[in-house]
Amino acid sequence: MQKHLLTMRVNGEQVELAVRPNATLLDVLREDLELTGVKEGCSEGACGACAVLMNNEPIRSCLTLALEANGAEILTIEGLATGGRLHPLQEAFVEQGAVQCGFCTPGMILSSKALLDRNPQPNDEDIKTALAGSFCRCTGYAKILEAVRAARDGDVGNEGS
Amino acid sequence: MRLPPFEYQAPSTLDEALKIKRGQGAAAQILAGGTDLIVNFKHRLFSPATVISLNNIAELKRIEVTHDALVLGAGASLAEVASHPAVNEHFPILVKAIDSIGALGIQRFRGTIGGNLLLQPRCIFYNQSHYWRMSKGLCHRTGGKDCLALEGSDSCHSICSGDTVPTLLALSAQLALAGGGGKRVAPLAEFFTGRGESPWNIMPEEILTEIRIPLPWAPISWSYQRLALRPAVDFPLVNAAAAAIVEKGKLEHFRLVIAALGPAPMVLREVEARLKGAAPTREALDLAQDAAVRVAEGVVVANASASKEYRIQMAGALARRATGEALGLA
Ligand SMILES: Cc1cc2nc3c(=O)[nH]c(=O)nc-3n(C[C@H](O)[C@H](O)[C@H](O)COP(=O)(O)OP(=O)(O)OC[C@H]3O[C@@H](n4cnc5c(N)ncnc54)[C@H](O)[C@@H]3O)c2cc1C
Ligand code: SF4
Ligand code: FES
Ligand code: FES
């Protein structure tokens, strides 16, 4: 197998590395770039733990060859906070108790970010559609829904108040 | 999960892709969105020498309206098709069918319309890990000599599960394919063989380039119906599409398709023949339901996550609903 050069932007930084053709984007993000916030759950597209944004759209990194990301802009959960400040969605997930083990959280938050960027005022149906296929095995979806609503409404940063 | 080893090529023109195909045939597999193919690689259902990515081929992503058809490039993403103004104007049924596929985060942005048509037919004994399958032994589809779902059967009954298939068929779509001998256009209705081990009339060196949907000569009323265990993520247990043109109270055109039953979608031609030319009445509902059940009885085997009998009865129920909605009788 001949390695190919892969150039992409990950969390705002240009990266260039040689990858095996049969490496998935998930493999490269986790193993080569050590972005372990990208989780491998089912590895078959069905759970959403590996979701990342490619050119602002949610995709399954377990179903995407790394080389298919050539020239793309990738955002993982590691790239969401800016200047040491959590993104409002991250704050909302913390404040609403929408995180337990945290395994589904990166995918949930990134899918929610793509939704809010596309549609800043989603209703519950829109949120459920955007998160369908993202599975949480512990928190339960009610809290996750509340967190996305809170981020939508700007109702964040109230912890302890 | 690891993928098998392969070489990777991402040509920027269709001609280059066809050249690789001509040289390697079936040993070179097409990767569109990969949302079906990569899972099948992980399950070791395929292990090609070369993967040809369509990602860089702009000419396969075009969507345009000609004087008589909507032309969808096979490589257009599901999101691009579903948000295109011409698709929404002429064929909202296709938008509904696309909306029902899997989930937004799975294939909406990467999955393609061509890949949905050429989704490998599914079977609970086939879409499993290599390890799982080894405990059952081989079948027609994996190089064996029997069917694990229907003992003694001489062919494979795996299920055509693409959610856009019945809709595109109800809209009388045509396919354009490029390959060895240049381009050819074939009706979608003649594309399916009915044999799960080789489900389509496509040559190993061919690439699907376009899906053409003829523009209707009068407004179409339509219905897309689908049943799955969960509305998101899960593949359809049965789906059905109906398209009708009613003019001056008479049914001038009607097509009813049921699918996700066997390797080929089924056009219920006898219902079409019986109903055409007359004013639609509620009798059409019983006619559609009975015909669908009869057709389903001939093709469904016990190879999905719901029982054979349930799928047969639900084929009837969905054909009834689709007919009712398309004819405004519901
Ligand atoms: C968890 C999960 C749930 C899913 N749920 C659904 C569902 O509910 N409904 C549904 O319909 N699908 C579902 N899918 C399947 C799949 O995501 C979609 O069918 C999608 O549209 C496939 O398109 P693709 O571009 O990703 O195909 P790919 O995986 O790239 O290709 C599919 C097949 O077609 C061949 N191919 C693709 N394009 C061409 C071409 N132009 N010429 C020749 N051959 C070609 C490929 O070689 C491959 O064999 C699901 C998948 C997953 C993982
Ligand atoms: S229907 Fe039979 S032959 Fe076809 S994949 Fe399933 S078990 Fe194998
Ligand atoms: S790990 Fe990719 S969807 Fe489950
Ligand atoms: S918090 Fe554990 S899976 Fe969602």
In a domain, B48, yes or no: yes
Predicted local distance difference test score (pLDDT) of residue A161: 46
This prediction has a pTM of 0.97
Residues B7 and B66 in one domain: no
In a domain, B124, yes or no: no
B35 touches chain A (CB under 8 A): yes
CB contact (8 A) between residue A21 and residue B6 = yes
**Cα gap B133→B286, rounded to integer Å:** 41
Find the residue in A nearest to B234 (Cα).
A46
Which residues of B, range 62-91, sit inside 8 Å of A by Cβ? 79
In a domain, B285, yes or no: yes
CB contact (8 A) between residue A22 and residue B2 = yes
**How does pLDDT run across B180-205, given as a tens digit for each residue?**
788 999 999 999 999 999 999 999 99
In a domain, B129, yes or no: no
- The answer for residues whose C-beta is within 8 angstroms of residue A157's C-beta and 6 or more apart is A88, A91
Domain count, chain B: 3
**What average pLDDT is seen over chain B?**
97
Architecture of domain A88-153: Orthogonal Bundle (1.10)
For residue B55, the chain A residues in CB contact (below 8 A) are: 68
To the nearest whole Å, the CA of A82 is away from the closest chain B CA by 24
Which residues of B, range 147-176, sit inside 8 Å of A by Cβ? none
Residues B7 and B42 in one domain: yes
Range of the domain at B1: 1-55
A21 touches chain B (CB under 8 A): yes
Predicted local distance difference test score (pLDDT) of residue A159: 63
- The answer for residues whose C-beta is within 8 angstroms of residue B298's C-beta and 6 or more apart is none
Nearest Cα residue to atom 4 of ligand 4: A136
Using DSSP's 3-state secondary structure scheme, residue B127 falls into: coil
For residue A62, the chain B residues in CB contact (below 8 A) are: 1, 38
In a domain, B15, yes or no: yes
- The answer for residues whose C-beta is within 8 angstroms of residue A80's C-beta and 6 or more apart is A86, A87, A89, A90, A109, A110, A113
Q: Is the CB of B239 under 6 A from ligand 1?
A: no
Residues B210 and B259 in one domain: no
CB contact (8 A) between residue B105 and residue A60 = yes
Residues B228 and B309 in one domain: yes
Q: Is the CB of A106 under 6 A from ligand 3?
A: no
Domain boundary among B214, B242, B259: B214
Same fold, A4-79 and A88-153: no
* Strand locations in B173-274 (E): 174-179, 182-187, 207-214, 221-227, 238-247, 250-259, 266-267
Atom index in ligand 1 nearest the CA of residue B78 equals 21
B10 touches chain A (CB under 8 A): yes
Residues B181 and B314 in one domain: no
**How does pLDDT run across B79-129, given as a tens digit for each residue?**
999 999 999 999 999 999 999 999 999 999 999 999 999 999 999 999 999
CATH number for the domain that contains residue B20: 3.30.43.10
Q: From the CA of B230, how far away is ligand 1's center (Å)?
A: 19
Total Cβ atoms within 10 A of residue A34: 9
Residues B308 and B265 in one domain: yes
Residues B262 and B238 in one domain: yes
CB contact (8 A) between residue B39 and residue A133 = no
Residues B240 and B285 in one domain: yes
Predicted local distance difference test score (pLDDT) of residue A157: 86
In a domain, B150, yes or no: no
Q: Is the CB of A48 under 6 A from ligand 3?
A: yes
Q: Is the CB of A35 under 6 A from ligand 3?
A: no
**How does pLDDT run across B256-277, given as a tens digit for each residue?**
999 999 999 999 999 999 999 9
Atom index in ligand 1 nearest the CA of residue B37 equals 29
Q: From the CA of B10, how far away is ligand 2's center (Å)?
A: 33
Q: Is the CB of B299 under 6 A from ligand 2?
A: no
Residues B99 and B1 in one domain: no
A65 touches chain B (CB under 8 A): yes
**Cα gap B233→B106, rounded to integer Å:** 8
In a domain, B132, yes or no: no
**How does pLDDT run across B270-296, given as a tens digit for each residue?**
999 999 999 999 999 999 999 999 999
Nearest Cα residue to atom 2 of ligand 4: A101
Average pLDDT score over residue span B157-169: 98
In words, the CATH class of domain A4-79 is alpha beta
Which residues of B, range 221-250, sit inside 8 Å of A by Cβ? 231-233
In a domain, B147, yes or no: no
Residues B72 and B198 in one domain: yes
**Cα gap A12→B257, rounded to integer Å:** 48
Answer positive or negative: Cα dihedral of B11, B16, B18, B22: negative
**Cα gap B197→B265, rounded to integer Å:** 15
Using DSSP's 3-state secondary structure scheme, residue B317 falls into: helix
Domain boundary among B55, B70, B97: B55
Domain boundaries, chain A: 4-79, 88-153
Q: Is the CB of B126 under 6 A from ligand 2?
A: yes
**Partners of residue B196 on adjacent β-strands:** none
Per-residue pLDDT 10s for chain A (161 aa) are 899 999 999 999 999 999 999 999 999 999 999 999 999 999 999 999 999 999 999 999 999 999 999 999 999 999 999 999 999 999 999 999 999 999 999 999 999 999 999 999 999 999 999 999 999 999 889 999 999 999 999 999 876 54
Residues B288 and B247 in one domain: yes
In angstroms, what CA-CA distances link B135 with B125, B131, B306? 10, 7, 22
CB-CB contact of A35 with A53 (8 Å): no
Q: Is the CB of B300 under 6 A from ligand 2?
A: no
Nearest Cα neighbor of A119 from A19, B320, A76, A111 is: A111
Residues B209 and B67 in one domain: yes
For residue A22, the chain B residues in CB contact (below 8 A) are: 2-6, 8, 41
Task: Please enumerate, as own/partner, the contacts of A127-131 that have beta carbons within 8 Å and a separation of 24 or more.
Answer: A129/B104, A130/A58, A130/B104, A130/B105, A131/A48
CB contact (8 A) between residue A67 and residue B53 = yes
